[in-house]
Structure 1
Amino acid sequence: MFGKTRDESENSEDFPSKNVGVAGCQGSFIDFKEFNITVNGFSVDSMVTENMRRKYYELCLARNTYLHHGLLKSINHIFATGIILETTTIADYIRGCKLSTSDDDFAMWDKRLNVLEVSGMNVGFLRSRLSYLVSLATKTRQIPESKRYAEAKLERGCMEQEIQSLKPRLRELKQATRKLEIEMDVLEAKIQIYERTFEEEANSPWSRDPRK
């Protein structure tokens, strides 16, 4: 499902020392304030939001290089900015994925990363992480607890659908119940009159002969 990446065999830490310069790039950075995104001599900082710029900075810092340094020379700075944003967005997706993330989503991310890599973007480490997570998710989904959880979730979904289908009938029953309650209130008032009359007769003086 996932092809091999250019740096699949690399074993670097996610966040190396911030005092390490970026090799092979136009300039270097130590902290975020000194981080500038330049493509073919054009600064594209103004085309990237502060939030995305910081996330891209963290990715570059983790690899000790500007990830876009290897982009094809034929790619202009506007298109390159789109590639940078796409890379940062997919990295966010990978960071935020869950065991419940679908295989289709995983495959789509890898396909998009492959296109970026062909363009010269340094995303091999993202593809390696994604490939590992896919393998881990596949193994985890096979354990009995995961299978039973998936079955229980499906069963609950079926029950919820059944409940939804019964709601119209429940509304009808509630309306019918309210009508009966109204009718019972009227009948109860009349019965109470009969009850009082009966009790009066039951408690009348013994000297009184109801048969006369």
Structure 2
Amino acid sequence: MPLQSKYYELCCSQKSFLHDHILEGLNCKLVAGIIEQIITIADGLRDPKLATVQEKFGTWEKILKSFQGLGMNVDFLLARLEQLMDISSKSKRHKNATFERAIAEDETRTLEARLLEAKKTGNRLDVEIQTLGPSTENLELKFQEMAKAPW
């Protein structure tokens, strides 16, 4: 679709020309370039691939705000951009939280396995201690007696 048609559609959606309040005295080629850039951004905002446009959000916001300062009516594009940035941010936080949860679950399984192993070792040592019989103090006394016993 030609740029003029796209610009006309944008203007119709807002029921006014986007350039109605453009600063007086701006070069017409500059204004045409601004309009072309606005159309490019509007097309980009309609791109269904979140990852594709996510990296451009900050740049687009700066560009649209500068065009707004020149008198272009781009409030509706800034509003849409803000909504998309909010959704994108939530999506990113959701992915990060899901990833972190998976790491925590993995770590929990590892710790549970280590705890089970430690309990098994403790039980094995309990059995060994019981089979060895008397306490170490009694064994120490028996050792001393044996060491001091006559030949």
Question: How does the TM-score come out when normalised to structure 1?
Answer: 0.43
Counterparts of 2:65 and 2:92, CA distance in 1? 26
RMSD over aligned Cα atoms: 2.3
Identity %: 35
8 Å Cα contact 1:67/1:122 also seen in 2 = yes
Counterparts of 2:29 and 2:96, CA distance in 1? 48
8 Å Cα contact 1:140/1:146 also seen in 2 = no
Q: Report whether the alignment pairs 1:124 with 2:86.
A: no
Gaps of 5+ in 1: 1-49, 152-212
Counterparts of 1:102 and 1:93, CA distance in 2? 7
8 Å Cα contact 2:54/2:88 also seen in 1 = no
Q: Report whether the alignment pairs 1:95 with 2:46.
A: yes
SS at match of 2:52: coil
Give the aligned partner of residue 80 of structure 1: 31
Report the number of matched residues: 100
The alpha-carbon deviation at position 70 of structure 1 amounts to 0.8
Deviations 1:17-53 (A, max 9, x none): xxxxxxxxxxxxxxxxxxxxxxxxxxxxxxxxx6111
**Pairing 1:1-212 to 2, within 5 Å after superposition:** 51-101=2-52, 103-143=54-94, 147-148=98-99
1:142 partner amino acid: R
Question: How does the TM-score come out when normalised to structure 2?
Answer: 0.59
Gaps of 5+ in 2: 103-151
SS at match of 2:4: helix
The alpha-carbon deviation at position 144 of structure 1 amounts to 5.2
8 Å Cα contact 2:45/2:53 also seen in 1 = no
The alpha-carbon deviation at position 104 of structure 1 amounts to 3.6
Which is richer in helix? 2
